[in-house]
Structure formats: C-alpha cells, structure tokens
Amino acid sequence: MTGWDAQRRHAFQLGLAPALLVLALITIAPAIYLVLTSLTPLNLTLPDSAWDFSTPLANYSDLLDDPRFSRSAWVQAKLSMATVIAQLLIGLGVALLLNGGGKVRQFARSGFLIPMVLPPIVVGLLWRVMYAVDISPFHRLMEFIGLPVGSLITNPNLALTAIVIAETWEWFPFTMLMVLAALQMVPAAPIEAARIDGANDWQMFRYVIFPYIQQTLVVAGIFRLIDSIKAFPLIFVLTDGGPGDVTQVTNYYAYRQAFTFSLWGYGSAIATLMVVGIFVLSWAIDRLTGTARAGAR
Amino acid sequence: MRTPHLNLTRRGLVRAGTGSLLVPFSLASGKAPAQGGRKPFDGVTLNISCWSATYPTLLGQYLPEFTERTGIKVNYDTPGFPVYNQRADLELSTKGSGYDVLNVTFIFTSRWIGAGWMTPLDGFLNDPNKTPADWDAADLLAGSVAPMRDKKGAIYGIPWISDVLMAASSRFDLLKAEGLGMPDTFDELDRAMALINKKDNVAAYIVENHWGWTFIPFLQGFGGSIFRNAPDDLMPTLNTPEVAQAAEFFAKLVNSYGPQAAAGYTYDQVNEAMRAGRTNYSPMNHAFAALLGAEGSKVTATSNFSMLPKGPKGRFPGVASHGWGIPIGAKNKDASWEFIKWSMSKELVGRMVERHGLGSVTRTSLLNSPAYKGRMVINGVDTGKMFLDSIALSETGYMKYRTVHVYPQVNAQINQAISSVVSGQMKAKEAFALAQANAIADLKRAGVRL
Amino acid sequence: MAASRSRVGWFTRHRNRVGDGFTIVLLLVVLFPFGWLVQMSFRPNADIFGYDLLFNPTFAHYKALWAGAFPASFVNSIITSVASTVLALVLGVPASYALSRGAFRSSRGIALWILATRMAPPIAFTIPFFLAYRFLGLSDTLIGLIIVYLTFNLALVIWMMQPYFDSVPRELEEAAWIDGCGVWEAFWRVTLPLSAPGLAATAVICFILSWNDFFYALVLTRTNASTAPVAIVNFIQYTGWEWGRIAAAGTMVMLPVVLFSMLVRNYLVRGLAAGGVKE
C-alpha cells in the first residue's frame, strides 16, 4: 500500500468511526440491556429485583404458558396478513391507475401521498372521528341510506377489521409509490408488441407487466410486514387493545406489561422474543424470495 | 442531568413569545399584571396533575388566584382516570421531577406509598412556619386520611375527596309514572329497568365503564369477594359462582337497558348523558351525581337519588379517597406544599361548595356547615345524608380489597373480564376463570406469595 | 384497417377520461377523512359535528391552542426534529461516504446491522432507554429524545446517502486528489455539492420521521419535553373531548410534514424503505 493509500484508508476510518461508535452505543448497548433485563423479574416497586438473576429463564417459561401472549401473537398474525395483502392490492391498483395518464393523474400522485406522511397520531385521530358513531359522517351516511352500522371499534368481531382499514388507508401509498417506480421501468417494447398482437388489459397485465413488478411487490410486502408488527398509535387511540384483547397485538401487550403494570422484566422478555421473531422472519423471507428471484432469472 | 441551558433557551423563547402576546390582552381586560411587592415564590412554576373529577376540574378555574397570591405559576392538567393513573404510576416509578404535585389515587395508595415514591408530609403539617394552626389539619376526616398513611402512620397525602357510589335517576318522573320508587334491591332494580326502558326515548340504565369500580358492589352484593381475606390473604377469589352470577346480572343491565354503545361510556360521557336526560338511572360517584343539580343540568327538577341498591348478601356502596401528594423527586417541595395548603384550605373549598355545589368534601367543619347541607339537598332529596350513611357502612371494612398494593393488576383483570362478558365474547364463568388465572399470574410476578 | 385503428383510438381517449374521472373520485374519497378533520378545526364549537358545508369559519380553536401549553410542545417538536436531523447528518454523512468509497470488508455486515436497527420494533428500544434514562436523569429531556431519535435517523442517513455517493464519478474526486486535496477536502468541494439533492431529501425525511414520532415521546417525556404529537393525546384524554381543539392541534401538527413531504415526494419511497428498492 502506498503512503497515499494508507492516508486515504485512515481518513475513511476516521469518517466512519464516530457514527459506528454512536450507533453501537445506542443500539447494541440497549439491546444487551434488554436481554439482561428479560432475565430478571424487574419490577420497580421491588428495587432488589433489578439484578436478580436467580431464575433467568422464568420470564420466558411464563411466556410460553401465557395465553395472553399467544393470543397476541395470533392477533398480530391476522392483522399483518390482512393489512399487507390489502396494501399490496390497493397499492397495485392505484399505481396501475396512475401510471401514465395526463396531468390529472400526475397531480393525484402527490395527493395520494398524504395518508402516508401524516403523523400516525393524527391518522389515529381522524379514524377516531370516523369510527365514533355519534359524530362520524360515515356512520351518518350509512344511516341515511338505510343501512345503519353499529360502532366498529367496540364490536369484538369488527374491531380488528376497523384497525386494518385505518392501517391500510395510512400505508397503501407506500406500496403504490414502489409499484409506480417499478412500472416506470417496464420496457416499452414488450407492451407495444403485446398491443399489436391484440392483448386485452388483463392479458397485458398478467403476462407482460406483472413479471417485471413481481420483485417490487415482494419487497414492498416485506417492508409492510415488518412495519405492521410495529403498529402502535392506531391501537392506542382507537381501541387500547380492546374490546377485551381482540386488538392487542404483541407489541401492545409488551407495552402494557412494561409501561402500565411496570413489569419490566416480563416486558423485556416479550420485546426480545419479538426482535428474534422479526429477524427470523426476515431471514426466512429473504431466503425464499432469493430463491424465487434466482428462479425467475 | 437536566440541561438548564437548553431549557432556558426554549422556555425563554416561549415565555417571550407568549408574554408579549399576553400583555396586550391583559391590558385590554383591564387587569394590570401584578406589580410591586415580591411574592414568596415568585418565578416558580409547578407541574400539577390529577384525574378529571369535579373538584380538580373546578380547581382549574381558581388557579389565577393562587398565582396572584404566591407568584407560583401552575401548569395544570386533568386527564381521564385511567390515563392519569398510568402516567402518574410511570412517572413516580422513575422518582423523577416531572411533576410537583400529584393525586394519590385510592387504588395506588399502597403501591406508591409502600414503594417510597411519595414525600412524607408530617414535616410540613407539624411545622408552624409552613402550616399555620388555623389550616386545621385535624378537621380532615380520619377515614379519608387513613389510606394516605403508611404502615407506621406517617401521612403521605391530603385527601380531597372521599367519594361514594350511589344511585341517581335523571327522569324519576318516568319511574313514578309506573308506580315505582327508587329501587332498593337488585331485583327491584331489574324490574324497574325493564318497565321504564325506552319510555320517552330515554334509555333506562347506564354506568361508566370503569368496571373495576362500578361492578364491585354487585360482586359483593351477591356474596362474592375479590381476595380471600384482604390484606392478609391475597389469594384472588374471582372464579366463584357468586362472582359469575353478579357478572351476568351486571352485563344484563348494561346490555338490555342501556343506550347504544353503552359499554364504551366513560364517566364524563355518563355525566353528560345523565345531565341531558338521555339516560335515566345510573350508579354514580356522589360527586358526579351532585352535578345533576348543578348549573347546566337539564334534569334538576326530575332527579332523584338513593343509596346503592342491596343484593342478597347486603349493601356495599364503593367508597374511595383521593388526595394530593408530593412526588419524592419534586424539586421545590415547599412550593408544592403551598399549593396543597391553598387548594385544601377551608376557605377555598367552602367557596366551591357554596358557588358550585361541590359535593366532595373531606373537612368535617364543611360537612356540617349549613351551606353544604343545603347544597346537598337536590330536588328535595338529601344526598348528603346518603353520602354519610354510605361512608358509615364502609367502616365495616369491605373496601379493604381496594388498598391492597396489587389491586391495580386485579382491577385490570376485572375490567377485561366484564368487558368480555358485556360484549358477549365470553360467558361470565369463562371470563372470570380467565381473570382468576391471569390475576394469580400477575400477582406472582409482582412478588406476592399466594 | 382504418376502422379498427380509429376504434382503438376512440377507446383510448374514452378510457383516459374515465380514468381521470375515477382518479379524482378516488382521491376525494381517500382524502375525505383528512379533509374532515381540517374543516372541523375551523368549525365553531356549537356546530362541531354538523354536516352542512356552509358554516362561519372561526379561528377560536387555534387561538385557544396558542394560549395553552400547546405552543411549548410545538417548539419542542421543532427543536428535537431539527437537532436530531443535524446530528444524524453530521455523524452519518461522512460515515456513508466512507462506506461508499472505503471498500471495507465489513461493509456488508454494517449494512445488515443498519437494516436490523430499522427492523427492530420500537418497544425493544423504549424499555432499555426508559430504564437507563431514569438512572441517568435524562427522563423528560429534549436531549434524551434527540439521542433516541438517532437510532433511526443515523441509520437512515447512512443508508440513504450511499447510493448518491456511489453515483458520483470517482474520476472527479481523483482529479481533486491529484490536485493536492485531502480526502475530506475533496469530499467537501466535489462530492457533497453533487449529492446536494440527495442530502436535502435525506434531511427532510429525517425531519419528518422525528416529527412524526409518537411512541418514544409518549414514553420518555412527561411535561417539560413533550412534543406536539403527545400534546394532542393530552387533549384527547381530557374529559369532554375538546374536538375543536383536537382538530386544530392535529391540523397544526401535520402541516409542516405535509408541506415538506410534497417537496421531497420523489425520494420518499427510498427513504421510508431505507433503500429497499435498491437491488
């Protein structure tokens, strides 16, 4: 290595170091602390519990027996599946609609962004208004046309659906944007060729366009899946995990255990399991889609 | 460590900004900003929070007087009951200085005081420089102060309310038209509700959805109990047939005789509905029931009150005290004490009784005053007597379950169980079997030996 | 031949107009809840839930907001968002450049680490940060929030800026090096100006993400450092649900974000996906 190369390398290391140091401090240190806390029965009313490692796996074995935990995982699974599929379908549909087209649709793209960039708490507020039977224009409208709808968020069968609707409204622009970007990269030649051959819209989509955007859909799906596990403000404002615990996803259950009941050890254990679960899930999907990607080539 | 520099910059900005806006307003309103003589606590700001009961809400109106007198500025907020409790509990657990005065909630007294998160107040009370003799601490009801003491008897809170659950009817005329009086037993209640439901478009029954408070009198009335023998034996006993029976009865009242979405009604929504005459009968806190006779109520002339109805095993009106306390981490405890002294002074509370008909009073002198007694007679009914009778009943000790330090966890389980039963998701037996299992798990996790 | 060509032509025209019309209708339906909230903020309290669209707009709710504690929380939001964005840029931009040019062997590992931070649920951070801040006295402070925001902003900056740096031709930098510039001098003079649009977009997205944060602020602040989204929740939790003020607060809180988003809409996907589109 020449002197200049060594100097350059040194300069790059200098540029990278502070960021890595800070990142390590604020991500790795808390992660270690989280795992350590999950091995204690930490409860702030009993200060001695802070470093009580006598039964390190007690929280985890409790979790395995805890029906509320397994229920929350099931609620999470339902929520994630529903919102990801809905967001993909609606995002895809709107993207197809907006693709090409004139000024009107170009302008509309910015408009459709709004749900995604609103502060999530404001989204929660909006939907709180929309779901409050006495004051919601939506409920009024249904009543007006003779199909009165009861309150969704206090109905144990419909509360989760209500959250799915609100969540889909909030995030479909994300998939829409990703699909739009991908649509714009579809080469013109195959489309022209198909049109000349007389393909109708469905055939055009299914055989010409879809193969090009398939990967994007998968990537968008993965991101939406991971984000759906973080769902918090909507549940906090709309249902508080209820009625009963039908909308209490794992994230919310951890929040309750830690911040409402001050069971920090237990909450940490739930959080740790969640992180592990997400990593495993992402790795698995990456593997699967990697194979698919290789196969598509 | 707090960064005073950053703090000052921001506060300075905001103060300068709002201050410059306020000066023209205050001048326009004809009140010159206080000038001249330096006040003892000039420049101090206190952060104070309490849940939104009648007294704390009213107190907000009087804060300018406090600032005028002492120079202390108050940032005051009154969230809803469950939210307040969660934030206060979280804040106190950090032993932080985010709040200077907090409400010591009844169900948390044991927890907060036992964990050493509140400041002992005897020092303030016994020091004649800090508390003049005529503030008369002895005037406070002993029964209200009791939950605010630790095991050794030191005081950690000054109670501002001892509230009881009683029954109120906003449209008693409808009951009378059916030849009914105020129901005195659960059976009479059931029959009465069935008869008057939806008469004149008024739903018969409503109750606030803090089930862990409003359901208990029914639970105990049918012979059930929360713990085997609070406070010594904390084994929960939620899965008994009496509890299930009570839950089914309770759910029936809410579902069959309540308005739409009855299960979602918080106490402020219940107050509103009752005062507007949209719902007829409700078990309510006395402090809220008194609002039926206060200004803005549409139903003063048709209201009636009674003690809570009794079940086969007796009458168990819920009684709860709340008080002002100083978090252990508060920075300026003397200023905090100034606030507590002022807000609980005979003079101020007396004025609230006279002007607003405040029902929640803990000073014996005020409870016996003609002003209070007069105000508590609403539409010819002496709610004051019902209040005192209910408190007398509670002295037999059936409220002990509530000050157990782990009751909040059980409260949450009861809330969820009743929520499931009312919404039809589970039968009472199932729901409470689950509550029992969860309560036992939560208590074990909180370090209780069962 | 001519007939089928003109038939195709007419169909396309017809389809475009229908498509446009449908787009507008869909846009209105989607934005309806949002518009409803905004109009509520201008409605007088007596009529707050009314349905006729002709009402006398009032600024009373905004004035009431201004007189309360809301302005302080708004200022807190501005401070934390700006400060954490600046800090993230100061730390992250040089790091991103170093990763782009430095050909480190561990750069794949670092990339995975950054992706992992982005994927972890906030609860995994809030618990340790809450407990640590309790010990360090950083509870309810702006500094505390700013540090926590770095957990996502720093990763975002490093991730987002890399493609921009990658796309700056090395020859330009090499030319500067030959002229005698040091590595970072060349970066400042040559690379950074060329990546300015990406930098601006990254900064704005960091700002938006910090501004919108709810969970961390809810848990880590109490009174002194509470930000605007948390302050709105305070309104909700007061009894009586002061809807006019809630609507006004909501409108005010989302205004900066909506405006900024329009400026960087082309970069939003990459930012929010933290590079997911990059294959």
Q: What is the pLDDT of residues A47-58, one digit of tens each?
A: 777 777 888 888
**Nearest C-alpha of chain C: how many angstroms from A157?**
23
| Cβ distance of C223 and B268 shorter than 8 Å | no
Best residue of A117, A223, A280 to probe chain C, by most C CBs closer than 10 Å? A117
- Tell me, yes or no, if A155 comes closer than 8 A to chain B by beta carbon: yes
Best residue of C119, C179, C211 to probe chain A, by most A CBs closer than 10 Å? C119
Residue B169, strand partner residues: B281, B304
Provide, as residue numbers in chain B, all residues whose Cβ is less than 8 Å from the Cβ of C84.
none
What does B278-335 look like in DSSP terms, one character per residue?
SEEEEEEEHHHHGGGGSTT-S-GGG-EEEEPPBBTTB----EEEEEEE-BTT-S-HHH
Contacts of C86 (CB under 8 A, 6+ apart): none
Q: How far apart are CA B5 and CA C80, in angstroms?
A: 15
Provide, as residue numbers in chain A, all residues whose Cβ is less than 8 Å from the Cβ of B445.
41, 43, 62, 263, 266
Mean pLDDT of B54-61: 91
Mean pLDDT of C256-275: 73
Q: How far is CA A129 from CA A270, B262, C49, in A?
A: 32, 18, 10
Neighbours of C188 (CB within 10 A): 13
Sign of the alpha-carbon torsion through B207, B210, B216, B219: positive
Chain B's closest residue to C136, CA to CA, is B1
Neighbours of A182 (CB within 10 A): 21
Q: What is the pLDDT of residues B298-346, one digit of tens each?
A: 999 999 999 999 999 999 999 999 999 999 999 999 999 999 999 999 9
User: Which amino acid is residue C180, in one-letter code?
Assistant: G
Assess whether pLDDT exceeds 90 at residue C6: no
Task: Give the range among A194-203, B257-266, C186-195, C264-273 with minimum mean pLDDT.
Answer: C264-273
Q: Is C129 exposed, middle or buried (0-12, 13-18, 19+ CB in 10 A)?
A: buried
Mean pLDDT of B97-110: 92
| Cβ distance of B267 and C142 shorter than 8 Å | no
Chain B's closest residue to C72, CA to CA, is B14
Q: How far apart are CA B443 and CA B16, in angstroms?
A: 51
**What pLDDT is attached to residue B30?**
36
Task: State the Cα angle at B329 between B326 and B331, rounded to 5°.
Answer: 85
Q: Decide the pairing of beta strands B101-104 and B203-205.
A: unpaired
Chain B's closest residue to C79, CA to CA, is B10
Best residue of B81, B83, B87, B89 to probe chain A, by most A CBs closer than 10 Å? B89
Annotated domain spans of chain C: 2-60, 63-272
User: Which amino acid is residue B177, in one-letter code?
Assistant: A
**Nearest C-alpha of chain A: how many angstroms from B261?**
7
Cα C159 off chain centre by:
15
| Cβ distance of A274 and C124 shorter than 8 Å | yes
Query: pLDDT > 70: what percent of chain C?
Result: 85
Q: HSE, CB side, 13 Å, CA atoms: give it for residue A211.
A: 10
Mean pLDDT of B11-23: 43
Chain B's closest residue to A157, CA to CA, is B425
- Tell me, yes or no, if B438 comes closer than 8 A to chain A by beta carbon: yes
Chain C's closest residue to A21, CA to CA, is C91
Residue A186 pLDDT level (bands cut at 50, 70, 90):
confident
Q: What is the pLDDT of residues C142-196, one digit of tens each?
A: 999 999 999 889 988 998 888 888 888 888 888 888 888 888 888 888 888 888 8
- Tell me, yes or no, if A176 comes closer than 8 A to chain C by beta carbon: no
Mean pLDDT of A270-292: 80
**What pLDDT is attached to residue C241?**
60
What does B334-394 look like in DSSP terms, one character per residue?
HHHHHHHHHHT-HHHHHHHHHHH------BHHHHTSHHHHHHTEETTEEHHHHHHHHHHHH
For residues C112 and C171, the answer to whether their CB atoms sit within 8 Å is no
Task: State the Cα angle at B92 between B91 and B94, rounded to 5°.
Answer: 70
Q: Which residue has the higher pLDDT, A3 or C136?
A: C136
Rg, C-alpha atoms of chain B: 23
| Cβ distance of A274 and C261 shorter than 8 Å | no
Helix (H) or strand (E) holding B319: strand B319-325
Provide, as residue numbers in chain C, all residues whose Cβ is less than 8 Å from the Cβ of B6.
79, 141-143
- Three-class DSSP category at B101: strand
Q: What is the pLDDT of residues A104-117, one digit of tens each?
A: 888 888 889 889 88
Neighbours of B28 (CB within 10 A): 8
**What pLDDT is attached to residue A169?**
95
State phi, psi for B77 to the nearest 5 degrees: -140, 145
Task: Give the range among A199-213, B7-21, B119-133, B426-440 with minimum mean pLDDT.
Answer: B7-21
**What pLDDT is attached to residue C12?**
62
| Cβ distance of A282 and C119 shorter than 8 Å | yes
Provide, as residue numbers in chain A, all residues whose Cβ is less than 8 Å from the Cβ of B426.
244
**Nearest C-alpha of chain A: how many angstroms from C206?**
12
Query: Which range scores top for mean pLDDT: B12-26, B191-205, C178-192?
Result: B191-205
**Nearest C-alpha of chain B: how many angstroms from C217?**
13
Task: Give the range among A17-21, B228-232, B334-338 with minimum mean pLDDT.
Answer: B228-232
- Tell me, yes or no, if C234 comes closer than 8 A to chain B by beta carbon: yes
**What pLDDT is attached to residue C207?**
92
Residue B28 pLDDT level (bands cut at 50, 70, 90):
very low
Neighbours of A14 (CB within 10 A): 13
Residue B46, strand partner residues: B74
Chains that touch C (3 or more CB pairs under 8 A): A, B
Contacts of C132 (CB under 8 A, 6+ apart): A30, A33, C138
| Cβ distance of B115 and A243 shorter than 8 Å | no
Assess whether pLDDT exceeds 50 at residue A297: no
DSSP class of residue C191? Answer: I
Q: Which fold has domain C63-272?
A: MetI-like fold (1.10.3720)
Residue of B89, B405, B425 with shortest CB distance to A244? B425
| Cβ distance of A232 and C122 shorter than 8 Å | yes
Q: How far apart are CA B314 and CA B224, in angstroms?
A: 11
Q: How far apart are CA C85 and CA C88, in angstroms?
A: 5
For residues B414 and B225, the answer to whether their CB atoms sit within 8 Å is no
Residue of C99, C214, C272 with shortest CB distance to A233? C214
Written as six digits, the tokens of B84 are: 């307040």
- Tell me, yes or no, if A100 comes closer than 8 A to chain B by beta carbon: no
Provide, as residue numbers in chain C, all residues whose Cβ is less than 8 Å from the Cβ of B18.
66-67, 71
Residue C1 pLDDT level (bands cut at 50, 70, 90):
very low
Q: How far is CA C111 from CA A68, B226, C115, C169, C200, in A?
A: 36, 54, 6, 22, 22
Residue of C22, C33, C229 with shortest CB distance to A121? C229
- Tell me, yes or no, if C39 comes closer than 8 A to chain B by beta carbon: no
Residue of B264, B438, B442 with shortest CB distance to A151? B264
Q: In 3D, which of C40, C36, C56 has the Cα closest to residue C48?
A: C40
For residues A122 and C40, the answer to whether their CB atoms sit within 8 Å is no
Chains that touch B (3 or more CB pairs under 8 A): A, C
Assess whether pLDDT exceeds 50 at residue B8: no
Mean pLDDT of A114-129: 89
**What pLDDT is attached to residue C273?**
59
Mean pLDDT of A253-282: 88
Written as six digits, the tokens of C68 are: 């309360």
Tokens 């991971």 correspond to what residue?
Answer: A226
Q: How far apart are CA B288 and CA A288, in angstroms?
A: 61
Mean pLDDT of B283-295: 90
- Tell me, yes or no, if B90 comes closer than 8 A to chain A by beta carbon: yes
Tokens 């009794």 correspond to what residue?
Answer: B310
Q: What is the pLDDT of residues A130-169, one digit of tens each?
A: 888 777 888 888 888 887 777 788 788 889 999 999 999 9
Q: In 3D, which of A33, A13, B60 has the Cα closest to residue C99?
A: A13
| Cβ distance of B6 and C143 shorter than 8 Å | yes
Q: Which residue has the higher pLDDT, B224 or C266?
A: B224
**What pLDDT is attached to residue C42?**
87
| pTM of model > 0.90 | no
**What pLDDT is attached to residue C237?**
59
| Cβ distance of C124 and A137 shorter than 8 Å | no
Query: Average pLDDT of chain A?
Result: 85
Q: How far apart are CA B246 and CA B242, in angstroms?
A: 6
Task: Give the range among A119-128, A237-246, B315-324 with minimum mean pLDDT.
Answer: A237-246
Q: How far apart are CA B198 and CA B178, in angstroms?
A: 13
**Nearest C-alpha of chain C: how many angstroms from A148?**
17
User: Which amino acid is residue A105, in one-letter code?
Assistant: R
Sign of the alpha-carbon torsion through C45, C51, C57, C61: positive
For residues C139 and B98, the answer to whether their CB atoms sit within 8 Å is yes
State phi, psi for A232 to the nearest 5 degrees: -140, -60
- Tell me, yes or no, if A25 comes closer than 8 A to chain C by beta carbon: no
Assess whether pLDDT exceeds 70 at residue B25: no
Residues 94-153 of C with CB under 8 A from B: 130, 133-134, 136-143
Tokens 């707009």 correspond to what residue?
Answer: C57
- Tell me, yes or no, if B58 comes closer than 8 A to chain A by beta carbon: no
Provide, as residue numbers in chain C, all residues whose Cβ is less than 8 Å from the Cβ of A117.
208, 212, 257-258, 261, 268
User: Which amino acid is residue A258, in one-letter code?
Assistant: A
Written as six digits, the tokens of B70 are: 């002492």
| Cβ distance of B10 and C79 shorter than 8 Å | yes
**Nearest C-alpha of chain B: how many angstroms from C134?**
5
Chain B's closest residue to C138, CA to CA, is B1
**What pLDDT is attached to residue B109?**
92
| Cβ distance of A181 and C269 shorter than 8 Å | yes
Q: How far apart are CA C1 and CA C7, in angstroms?
A: 10
Assess whether pLDDT exceeds 60 at residue B215: yes
Assess whether pLDDT exceeds 70 at residue B4: no
Q: How far apart are CA B374 and CA B370, in angstroms?
A: 6
Q: What is the pLDDT of residues A194-231, one digit of tens each?
A: 888 887 878 888 888 888 888 888 888 888 888 898 88
Assess whether pLDDT exceeds 60 at residue B10: no
Residue of C26, C95, C129 with shortest CB distance to A30? C129
Q: How far is CA B178 from CA B182, B200, B257, in A?
A: 11, 13, 16
State phi, psi for A192 to the nearest 5 degrees: -60, -45
Provide, as residue numbers in chain C, all residues whose Cβ is less than 8 Å from the Cβ of A13.
98, 102
A243 preceded by cis ω (within 30°)?
A: yes
Q: In 3D, which of B381, B242, B232, B241 has the Cα closest to residue B299?
A: B381
| Cβ distance of C137 and B77 shorter than 8 Å | no
**What pLDDT is attached to residue A292?**
47
Chain B's closest residue to C135, CA to CA, is B94
| Cβ distance of A129 and C36 shorter than 8 Å | yes
- Tell me, yes or no, if B111 comes closer than 8 A to chain A by beta carbon: yes
Helix (H) or strand (E) holding A7: helix A3-23
Q: Where are the beta strands (DSSP E) in C58-214?
A: none
**What pLDDT is attached to residue C79?**
95
